Amino acid sequence: MDNLTEKDLGIIFDVLNVYEPNDISHVYPEMATNEFMKDLNSTWKKVLNIVRNADKANTISKGYTLDKKNLDNTNKN
């Protein structure tokens, strides 16, 4: 993790932000489960917080905020 740059984190954020489980479920069914999606949303929030606090946040989807991501009640912390 020490080698991740702000640009790397921005790319990770963008990929997480547009992840669609139905696009991959036929290849990796476990990546479309509720449990995986909870983990993905949790990771998305963590990366968002890092990107938001970065000096030069430069992501394609930088305008997204937490309220635009569908997070269930168990994953809001």
Distances (CA, A) of 62 to 1, 13, 35, 68: 22, 9, 26, 12
| Mean pLDDT of all residues in 32-43 | 93
At residue 45, the pLDDT reads 86
Scanning 1-77, the segments in alpha helix (DSSP H) are 6-18, 21-24, 34-53
Mean pLDDT of the chain, nearest integer = 76
The residue that leads in pLDDT, 56 or 5, is 5
Query: Which residue type does 31 have?
Result: M
- Res 73: pLDDT: 39
User: Chain centroid to CA 48: how far?
Assistant: 7
pLDDT at 54 over 70: no
Residue 32 DSSP symbol: G
